[in-house]
Structure 1
Amino acid sequence: MMIVKKPIQYAIIIDKQGDYGVFDTMNDAIDSAYEACEEYSKYSHSRRNDIINAVIKELKFHIEELSLMTCKQIGTNSYDDLLCENMNALANSENDKYHEAMLTSNNKFNNLENSFTVNGVVTPSSNPIKTIINNSISMLRAGNAVVFSSNKTAKHVFAHAIKVINNAIETANGPKNLIVTVKEPSIENTNIMIEHEKITLISAIDTNSEKIAL
């Protein structure tokens, strides 16, 4: 059994609109991500890599906390399994071959190589942190911003993970709100994201972990 070595503190209160990527409305989230992406597009490859490495480092530091918080919120006892999945996702995010495969998959759907876009992601409830890691890192490497639509069951851990990522980006002198979500996930917010003109690609993950372009 794996042992949690760091204190677990998961009482997250997000009161401020847009506090580290967590917004009151989906429209505000998308508009902020669009502005962040425009700034991010001007960064050199080296500078983007520095930001991505900072995000990976911060996620590694919080991965036990995020995994335990997920278990508590979605009502599962599979902490060890979730932690293993999340750690593997982080390991894959540093693997060049895995990254190239993800980029190839994304380009197959949107045919926008070397473009700077805002992508929307609809996430499952089974392991939201794994989805955040996989999509955030791969899309940041491609120069894109990401808007996540989560589900009510995991909204607190989801918001915390987004906050952790944005804190790392800002600490590395990157743009605010490259990775965003809303405080209160809903079907209405997901529909706004799907239909929004500033969202170039929508990815959904079904129960078989298949990516679907809408």
Structure 2
Amino acid sequence: MKTQWGVFSSVTQVVHAAKEAFHVYRRVSLRERKQMIQAIREGLYSYSHEFATLACQETGMGKVADKIIKIKLALEETPGPEDLQTHTTQGEGGIVFSEPYPYGVVCAIHPSTNPCETLINNTISILSAGNVAIHCPHPRAMEVSKYITKIINQIIMDKFGICNLVTTVDSCSLSYIKEIMNHPDVELILSTGGSDAAKCALSCGKKVISAGPANPTFIVDETADVERAAYCIHKGASFDYNITCTSEKNIVVVQDILPQFRAALECLNVYYVDSISEMLQLSKILLTEDLEVNRQYGGKSADTILKDAGIVTDRSYDLIAVETVRIHPFVTKELLAPLITIVKARDFDYALQIGIEAEQGCHHTAGIHSSNSERLRRAAKAFGTAIFVKNGCSLDGIGICGVGATSFTIANITGEGTVTAKDLVRKRRCVCVETLSSYA
């Protein structure tokens, strides 16, 4: 099976290979585990540009330059085995250890939007926790995912002589994913994205860590540094054509500063739409007749969208901002395109109300730009999201600012939030009782 380099033609083969690999891996010391993770980081780094290019070509979504940034972020900032936590309590009766130990075989489901960085991020987290991985890529990213899996196996095999710690199937359909998830030898399901597979995972009767739908909403109030707020929002929403699940999608602005905010956005190469005619033109291509999202434009450039909508411009744009009402489908649906909505509110309290409604209880990502500390506190508490950004860019929420762990699985459904190695282990209470000699 070693010649397979982690890619198998059937569910039976891939699960058997992963289970056998786990029996070997569980004997590897923590020190060797750390060395393996470091080898993966170093070995994959030079492939960043190739992976990003292949992902764009296969999925038809996103920008190569931005995908390179995300891939390098996953390699550099995903926590390794050092993320695991051990606690000790000592008393007269003995010692109690609270220690992590692996589940075993993990089924990891990936989205089409961030295939490379999610696979790499999850691989580092899963192996750091002492588990082995069966990756289930999105069909639109199958080839690049298999390629990365093979390279990871080659790195591990060359340096440590172990194969199939990371595996996948040759083709991945929903029926295959269901079969893997329900296999008795699979102990944990790690689901990224709001796909049908994620819904199936929750019905498997196993431990599930699951991400879900998102509709990131940010508030800009009248006390904010408007130019900085516009800069941060442009940076996050235009990044990789806004297909990252944490990127700004809806902006609720207190109306007193809307003219200033609009001017700041337009200075940052944002095409601002406030006419009904242009809004209808955009709606015709970005929405279906049933007012659902037209996935054909997911991850496409702002220029492509404007051109196909019949909107003539004299230059290239990074992002489209559409001023609209709170109930428009652009607000309530996640487009996964370089378009943000601008919804005005008469004051902060109303802005907070609109923002919470727009986020729709996904508990994924939200944020605020304000210099009022009480409003920062109120908004964070009211949204209750897994990621909440104060006076920053959405990208800061996944560690691109250099602070905090990086994760591309945001478990808003099951509540773990940004998932790292510490979330992928069982918690064991190990008790060492004081000597029994006193009872002799």
TM-score band, normalised by shorter chain:
0.7 to 0.9
Q: Provide the residue aligned with 2:46 in structure 1.
A: 61
**What letter matches 2:153 in structure 1?**
N
Q: Determine the C-alpha separation between the residues in 1 that align with 2:102 and 2:160.
A: 22
Greater mean alpha carbon deviation, residues 202-211 or residues 60-69: 202-211
Task: Describe the shift of the 1:171–1:151 C-alpha distance in structure 2 as closer, same or farther (beyond 3 A).
Answer: same
* Deviation of the 1:115 alpha carbon: 2.5
Q: For residues 176 and 99 of structure 2, what CA distance do their matches in structure 1 show?
A: 26
Larger relative contact order (Cα-Cα within 8 Å, sequence gap ≥ 6):
1
Q: CA deviation at 1:112?
A: 8.7
Name the one with the larger helix percent.
Answer: 1
Corresponding residue of 1:107: none
Q: Give SS of 1:76's match.
A: coil
Q: Which residue of 1 aligns with 2:127?
A: 140
Gaps of 5+ in 1: 1-15, 105-110
Query: In 2, Cα distance between the equivalents of 1:202 and 1:172?
Result: 28
Which secondary structure does the structure 1 equivalent of 2:160 belong to? coil
TM-score (norm 2): 0.40
Structure-2 residue corresponding to 1:210: 410
Asked whether the equivalents of residues 41 and 116 of structure 1 are also in contact (C-alpha less than 8 Å), the reply is no
Q: Given that residues 9 and 170 in structure 2 are in contact (C-alpha distance below 8 angstroms), is that contact kept between their aligned partners in structure 1?
A: yes
Larger Rg: 2
Provide structure 2 residue ranges, at least 5 long, that are not aligned to the other structure: 86-97, 195-213, 215-408, 415-440
Contact 1:20 1:166 (8 Å CA) reproduced: yes
Candidates 58, 62, 68, aligned match of 1:83:
68
What's the CA shift for 1:179? Answer: 0.3
Match in the other structure for 1:123: 110
In 2, Cα distance between the equivalents of 1:186 and 1:113?
33
Q: Is 1:34 the counterpart of 2:45 in the alignment?
A: no
**What is the alpha-carbon root mean square deviation over aligned residues?**
2.3
Change (3 A) 1:41 1:116: farther
2:186 and 2:77 map into 1 onto residues whose CA distance is 26
The corresponding residue for 2:188 is: 201
Shift of 1:17: 8.8
2: CA distance between counterparts of 1:77 and 1:196? Answer: 34
Measured after TM superposition, the shift of residue 77 of structure 1 is: 4.7
Q: C-alpha separation between the residues in 1 aligned to 2:28 and 2:103?
A: 11
- How far apart in 2 are the matches of 1:115 and 1:184? 27
Alignment of 1:1-214 (within 5 A): 19-93=4-78, 95=79, 100=83, 113-207=100-194, 208=214, 209-211=409-411
